[in-house]
Amino acid sequence: MSSGRFLDKSLKFDWVFLLTTFALMACGIALVYSATANEEVVFYESFWFKQIIYFIGGCVLAGGIVFLKIDWIKRMTAPFYILSLILLCVVLFFAGDVVKGAGRWIDFGFFKLQPSEFAKIAYLLTISYWLSRHPVSLFKIKTFVVPFFLFIVPFALVLKQPDLSTALVFIAVTYVAFFFAGFTLVDMFLITSPVLSVLFSHSQTMVYQVLWGLLICAVVFALVRRHLPKAQTIFFLATNILAGYASSMAWNMLEPHQQKRVNTFLDPMSDPLGDGYQVLQSLTAIGSGGLTGKGFGNGTQTNLAFLPEEHTDFIFSVLGEQFGFVGCFLILVLYALFLWRATSTCKLYSDPFITLIVMGSSTIFLFHILVNIAMTIGLMPVTGLPLPFLSYGGSFAMTCMVLVGAIICMRYQGRRQ
Write the pLDDT tens digit of every residue in 115-130. 888 999 999 999 999 9
Q: What mean pLDDT, rounded, does the chain reach?
A: 81
State the pLDDT at residue 416. Answer: 44
305: three-class secondary structure by DSSP: coil
Residues 6+ apart with CB under 8 A from 78: 126
Taking only the tens place, the pLDDT of each residue in 45-75 is 788 888 999 999 999 999 999 888 888 999 9
Q: Choose from 143-147, 164-168, 190-194, 362-366 the range with maximum mean pLDDT.
A: 362-366
Q: Which band of pLDDT confidence, cut at 50, 70 and 90, is reported for residue 265? A: low
Taking only the tens place, the pLDDT of each residue in 11-34 is 667 889 999 999 999 999 999 888
In this predicted structure, the answer to whether residue 402 has a pLDDT above a threshold of 90 is yes
Residues 6+ apart with CB under 8 A from 310: 35, 36, 302, 317, 318
State the pLDDT at residue 303. Answer: 55
* 183 or 253, which is more confident: 183
Average pLDDT over residues 212-239: 84
State the pLDDT at residue 6. Answer: 47
Residues 6+ apart with CB under 8 A from 348: 11, 411, 414, 416
* 66 or 201, which is more confident: 66
CB 371 within 8 A of CB 166: no
How much of the chain exceeds pLDDT 70, in percent? 80
CB 66 within 8 A of CB 75: no
Residues 6+ apart with CB under 8 A from 34: 296, 297, 299, 302, 318, 322
